[in-house]
Chains A and B, each alone.
Chain A
């Protein structure tokens, strides 16, 4: 039976990282995953709105949950930050019936919705490994990702209850998936380290050092590229590479793509972009 999900694209897929949405749609089609867009869903808050008002973020996400529940679907997102934040807020609402009731009153007044707890949140990576199956995926691969790949999980979805059947501290779903795509998974310790996205503006030097540490770790372990499961970290790791290198004196140059991109390429979509990526790996690589 085809997998069906309510689709939340994550925080910056509509703007700064358009390649995520562009590659997500064809890969879902090839895998036979039916995505119903949550066109009314707001930003998950990225852990930032809650710094202004925790209940506000909970209410916004409760509205997103209620929309998915009304569709009778569970939520799937390709963004680790969104998966982590939504999972966290879902757990908070489920653990506190009084809070849920109070938020439902607000939802009812403002949008006519109530949330009964009847949805779940999944990241694309966990859907593919836990639900779709890596054996099936490997039979669909048309263009092997035949280089060394460092899979970046980030800290947001590596939380208890938010990472499917994977281990919170010692995950290996990404590595299994890279192998299924024909690549060589790189073992590296920084794969669950934060690159400090919420502190980018206020603590830029710290964030640049965090990003440089992650990038240089992947390089030193022999990775040809990093594939990120997080939309936000993906952008930081890419566009702040040069600045991070200058701030720390560490070599940081390495191509960074998103999980959706690499899956899409392996499944035979966007062959021109895959060719560009190969060229960039050849040019950038040491």
Chain B
């Protein structure tokens, strides 16, 4: 165990570079508007043409907004050409510390619509920069979408803290602050007698706090595992990734973790049992503050083999994905003619649903969210299952592909291998993924006619609740396991523990002698053969009859 005190530089850097590549002046106008509006977001903007900077200058900024038009057949505007050539060079610098967004101006009647903006957007991404707000492509009537982009992109830039970490949770607060600022300015202008309004922007910084960090360590050369613990002072607003970098740079250079951009899924780790992308989370949001400090336990994601310390081998997930044959095999469909040519269409509700099913940041995190994954030999894991489920519901998939996907989902490694969806639900920010996996499970069990152990368990559990309102363990054990399974429990000691309550205390060993008819069955102490019904049991039966005639 090593102990150290760490200080983190907290300069008040609120600089923003607004860069424009302009041919007709529209992109420059937009850049000027950004420059004027930036102060509402507590930002200090510098507006420059692309011919006024060198490519290396860009690395000095953690916040960059670009407005760029497209000229001719997808060419850069004149003032951007040289900078773009430098950007394309092999030795162009890394932009890993930069947060950015791009406004692309163009004309959709040209083949290479908004191409220059797309190129800058792609280049920054390829250089490791973090896109804090999606690129917006504007047609000739650009004013409205450009104004919308300006508001959103500036709020996101405002939410980049002094350490260059994008704090997504602060974007709304930034918008509110800017909105208050606007209305206050307006009010002051029209009502000169009104008192001056004290304006403030949300404080993205928080005080230093004591952080006890325990990190899992694994050395593959000696096959030794353990934990290192540091007690440090960190400002609460820095990201977990920044904290790891600081520990590595100042305390232990051998500490190994995957570094990357804030939204890089391969950086995922477990912090206090929560699976996160460490670049996206402030440390003061990771654990409750108790006695003025927090305790952080960092481990590699479960469900994967550990290579070293926090680095896991995700190859098993890729192999599972390969087994599921995730590629699209498209059906022949009728398209519609558009000015851009024939294009396939999709019902908006289906499109929404498909998007929400497959909208998760990290397949690695979803895979690790299942508590069954590390213990099952065959389970493909929830992320592969969910992707297969999305493709199965995709109307563009061919009939043969859908049949193949059904086999994957119904098979040994499919959704039936998931033992408990609760563990996945608790890791999700919404219930969408859990609900989709549940839908997938219901579909699989229905296709199977509720046969097999899994289907029988669901069927007889439900039926036993109809019969008395309560679960009848005896009925479920007998129907699902059958005589051979029950005999197996008899010889494996399960039945003996059931009867004795083994390590538990008290309670009748048997409720009634009927429990001993046929091989004994049940969960826990020997349960009743028949349950007494709940009060007004006829209401339960009526609900079953109304809701599901199968039972």
Contact = CB atoms under 8 A, between A and B. Distances in A.
Interface string A25-51: 000000000000001111101111111
16 contacts: A15-B522, A16-B525, A47-B421, A48-B461, A48-B462, A52-B548, A52-B550, A52-B551, A189-B297, A197-B419, A203-B419, A210-B419, A239-B523, A255-B504, A274-B505, A280-B503
Interface in A1-25: 11-12, 14-19, 22-23
Given A158-B426, A238-B497, A239-B497, A54 B505 contact: no
Contacts of B450: 52
B456 A206 contact: no
A63 B333 CA distance: 46
Given A15-B473, A239-B523, A156 B422 contact: yes
Given A196-B371, A270-B506, A110 B465 contact: no
A167 B525 contact: no
Contacts of B501: 19, 238
Contacts of A129: none
B375 A235 contact: no
Contact of B419 (A41, A84, A189, A198): A198
Interface centre among B462, B471, B502 (most CB of A within 10 A): B471
B540 interface: yes
For the complex of A and B, 10 pairs with smallest distance between CB atoms: A16-B524, A199-B419, A196-B419, A202-B454, A15-B527, A209-B375, A110-B542, A40-B535, A111-B539, A18-B507
Contact of B371 (A111, A194, A254): A194
Contacts of A19: 501, 504-507, 525
Given A110-B542, A110-B546, A17 B419 contact: no
A261 B492 contact: no
B126 interface: no
B169 to A, nearest CB: 15
Given A39-B534, A261-B504, A270-B505, A49 B462 contact: yes
Contact of A42 (B372, B470, B524): B470
Contact of B459 (A18, A52, A199, A254): A52
B445 interface: yes
A141 interface: no
A106 B543 contact: yes
Contact of B494 (A63, A232, A243): A243
A154 B550 CA distance: 32
A202 B457 contact: yes
B543 A63 contact: yes
A201 B456 contact: yes
B548 A53 contact: yes
Interface residues of B, number: 85
A210 B547 contact: no
B524 A261 contact: no
A235 B546 CA distance: 33
Interface in B210-231: none
A207 interface: yes
Contacts of B452: 202
B204 interface: no
A197 to B, nearest CB: 7
B318 interface: no
A59 B543 contact: yes
Interface in B468-523: 469-473, 476, 480-481, 492-494, 497-498, 501-508, 511, 522-523
A132 interface: no
B121 interface: no
Interface of B: 272-274, 287-288, 290, 295, 297, 299, 371-372, 374-377, 379, 416-423, 425-426, 438, 441-442, 445, 450, 452-454, 456-459, 461-462, 465, 469-473, 476, 480-481, 492-494, 497-498, 501-508, 511, 522-528, 531-532, 534-536, 539-540, 542-544, 546-548, 550-551
Contacts of A88: 425
A interface, size bucket: 35 or more
A194 B419 contact: yes
A246 B511 CA distance: 29
Contacts of A23: 506
Contact of A206 (B419, B422, B547): B419
Interface centre among B452, B459, B461 (most CB of A within 10 A): B461
A15 B287 contact: no
A249 to B, nearest CB: 14
Contacts of B438: 50-51, 54
Contact of B535 (A12, A14, A39, A194): A39
A241 interface: yes
Given A19-B506, A170-B273, A239-B502, A54 B531 contact: no
Contacts of B418: 199
A50 B442 CA distance: 8
Given A56-B547, A199-B418, 19 more contacts: A16-B527, A17-B507, A40-B469, A52-B548, A63-B539, A63-B543, A88-B425, A158-B426, A168-B274, A192-B426, A203-B454, A213-B375, A238-B524, A239-B494, A243-B494, A255-B504, A257-B504, A258-B504, A270-B505
